[in-house]
Structure 1
Amino acid sequence: MTNILGFGGNFGNWRQPNDNFSPKPESLAILPEEVTQIVDVISLYSRIIVFLSSEGKLYQTDPNQFQEKLKAIEDIPPIKSICAGYYHILAISDEEQPKVYGWGNNDSGQFSNLNKQIEMRKPTLIKGLEKITFHEIYCAGYGSFFLNTTTNVLYGCGDNYNSELGVLDYQSKEQIIKLHENVVKVFSDHSDHVFIIKTDGNLYGFGTNQIGLCLNNSFSFSFSFSLRD
């Protein structure tokens, strides 16, 4: 297996069961021997860490319990991509007709029409995507995004309080809606702002701008702008 090193606080139980802070990289020894390569790693503020192997399997730490060897999450098809918002995770299956699985907190509608109060500890199939063709997934804050790379249409759901979905409605979007057209690529992370590249070659951003994240003079929300304007 590819050697994985980590450092920092251990509250997520990614190494031996203690809360010590590691200032230097330490070897990660909780993955089973059959894992030949890790292709992606994501984490939540709730201290959960998820590893995606080259075989399309997911391995998840438990912040409440140290596990000598992580076991692969069962009952899901091979996964090709994962992403994480503040407190939720998305995973897209490696199939001809991809499926999206979500788990974590859903108090802001991050998982579309599932119960807003539910907390899912394991991947659960997200409904509402059956009639939408999509190829890539992204997360930002409390929002989820689904991109069709053929039509360049971006869909999404979740919280829109800080306009992190890039629309003018401040309400949470519990249903998956069409957000933006002509989108080629999305850049996002845990924060409440998102950047997208469109087919015109310009870079656009939206979301909260309270500390100038979108590079303009407004301290309010920036819904859409171009860095070339």
Structure 2
Amino acid sequence: MARSATEIIDINLFQDDFKNMDQKFLPSVVSIISIFICENYKPKKQFLLMTKDATYAYGEVICSSLSLEHDMTKPQRISLLNDMKIVQVDSGYDFVTILTEDGRVYLASNNSNWKTNNAFRLINTGNDCFKMIACGVRHLLLLRQDGHVFAMGDNRVGQITGNEKSSYESMINTGIANVKLIACGGDHSFSITNKEEIYSWGPNSYGQLGLSDKEISSTPCLVSFPNDDSINIRIKEIVAGDQHSLFLFENGQLWGCGYNYNGELGLGNRRSKLAKIPIGNLQQIKCSKIHNFSLAYDGSSYYAWGKTKYVKWLLPKKLDGHPTSFASASVQVLNSPITFGLTSTIYEFGSHDSISYKSIIELLDNQDNYDVKFIIDKKDIKACKCYLKSVSKYYCRMFSGNWNENDQVIINNYQYETYYAYLRLLHTGKIQINHQNITELVDLANCYGDESLMEYCATFIRNDLDEQTMPKYLPLINKYEMIELYEKLAHLYKNQNQQSSSSSKRTKFS
């Protein structure tokens, strides 16, 4: 299935990338996708920016690929994509591909081989509808809704299977069927069937295909894992870098194979053979075809390994500073953030004192310095009672009297991510509010008597409130008597009545 925007990022992460942009435009952005397109063999970071009804290009190379004028102060609207619902974005060295909700695939490139004529080219014609795409550096895989896999692009090392010459104009039927998921590394590819079988093909110089040999395979071959208890569990996800591959199982175990000189596999050595990586209970994994590192998330912490801006981490390293997304985690590995597919953007509310922030944040979820645990969904958040009492009247009451000796607090009414965001607010003065946590945060602000949090929530709702979102927010506004939003509601009701009246008149006299 196509991947939706599950990664929620703070748009302020990209303030250096967007420092020359008209700042009035940024609040309208609902999704940021960073892509790398090569120019003169050098990858350059470019962006696709989405608002509620349009998609924009930002960057000299991507604009050139679409016959748009590059302006550092103003992203360029891609008129072809107006009002299109985009569900997946991926890119190779010199092309970017998007998949729409109705199964159409568009490709743009600065490479003449793709014959895009400096515009987004519709790849699929006729009745073909696709549910997933995956890009290698020089080839593209397309998963049709019936489970058949098609390929396009370079085929010098078996990227699109068979003995066909490179095919940039038409899709090649790979013959692979009954597939539910596809993935690409640099030039190698994977598919997972509905029977949980994993097939790989392409170059294999470093064992990135997970096969017993290191020969190029232009025919999909079945990947066999060593005998291990975790292998009886279903595969959850496959991601691949330029020449390495990672396999995440449903039980949180992670396996890897391929190029490992920089520690891309996180094994603590430089072996390339398929092996289990010493980290468990993972929920998500990410890696880049451009950079030699990998990232993982276990539900509460982010980990990284491979080549970083500092040194090579041969083993998974837990990242400091409590990253809130893979994009924010990437900042600790690279010099600037990158995204991994579609994202949803949020804005941080509040501010903090940069001097005291670094010391205070150490009081949150610190294994060596805590006296209370908040237990949520079998996970815990560690904190210090004394500090919480000093910044919150609610916690001051909670940890007084009979509660003073309690070292565990069970939280049943809020999700882990929501409660962590609130505790982070108390330690940093900043909170990330999004569509997923707004309802719980309003309730928490009301229950805990936190006026600052309620003000931040009201600001978020006010900025997002329109005719489309009013049905969602109206019950929330009424339940918690958010009177500061009544004026905005009245304005929306007035507009609706005027539009209804105009429509009635047109109907009457038509």
- Aligned position for 1:142: 243
**Partner of residue 130 from structure 2, selected from 34, 38, 62:** 38
1:30-179 matches, within 5 Å, as 31=124, 33-35=126-128, 37-45=129-137, 47-63=138-154, 64-66=165-167, 69-74=170-175, 76-95=176-195, 98-116=196-214, 118-128=215-225, 132=231, 133-135=233-235, 136-149=237-250, 151-172=251-272, 174-179=273-278
2:321 corresponds to: 228
CA distance 1:148–1:115, shift in 2 (3 Å): same
**Residues 170, 65 of structure 1: CA spacing in aligned structure 2 closer, same or farther, 3 A cutoff?**
closer
Q: How far apart, in 2, do the equivalents of 1:65 and 1:222 lie?
A: 37
Distance in 2 (alpha carbons) for counterparts of 1:104 and 1:169: 25
Taking CA–CA contacts closer than 8 Å with sequence separation of 6 or more, which of the two structures ends up with the larger relative contact order? 1
State how far apart, in whole Å, the 2-side matches of 1:38 and 1:130 are. Answer: 35
User: Contact (CA 8 Å) 1:146, 1:156: kept in 2 or not?
Assistant: yes
Task: State the aligned residue count.
Answer: 205
Contact 2:301 2:318 in 1 (8 A): no
Matching residue of 2:306: 207
The alignment partner of 2:274 has SS state of strand
More strand by proportion, 1 or 2?
A: 1
Distance in 2 (CA, whole Å) between partners of 1:163 and 1:69 is: 38
Percent identity reads: 20
Instruction: State the shift of 1:51 in Å.
Output: 0.9
Q: Give, as a single letter, the amino acid of the residue that structure 2 aligns with 1:125.
A: L
Please state how far the C-alpha of 1:81 moved relative to its aligned partner. 1.2
Equivalent position amino acid for 1:33 in 2:
G
The 1:103/1:170 distance shift into structure 2, 3 A limit, reads: same
Which residue is 1:18 aligned to?
A: none
Query: Is 1:23 aligned with 2:121?
Result: no
Residues 56 and 196 of structure 1: CA distance in aligned 2, closer, same or farther (over 3 Å): same
Which of structures 1 and 2 has the bigger CA Rg? 2
Q: Structure 1: any 5+ residue segments left out of the alignment?
A: 16-20, 213-217
Q: Distance in 1 between matches of 2:125 and 2:224?
A: 32
CA spacing shift, 1:124–1:208, aligned 2, 3 Å: same
Partner of 2:311, secondary structure, is: coil
Which structure has greater helix proportion? 2
Change (3 A) 1:41 1:181: same
1:175-214: CA deviations, max 9, x gaps?
3334421111112231311111114x011111101xx2xx
Q: Deviations over 1:63-85 (max 9, x none)?
A: 344476434221x4411111111
**Native 8 Å contact 2:201 2:218 kept in 1:** yes
The question of whether the paired residues in 1 share the 8 Å contact of 2:191 and 2:198 is answered with: yes
Cα distance in 2 for residues equivalent to 1:208 and 1:50: 28
Separation in 2, partners of 1:225, 1:177 = 18
The normalised TM-score by structure 1 is 0.77
Moved more, 219-228 or 47-56: 219-228
Looking at structure 2, the residues matched to 220 and 68 of structure 1 have their Cα atoms a distance apart, in angstroms, of 40
Return 5+ residue gaps in structure 2 as ranges. Answer: 1-101, 155-164, 323-510
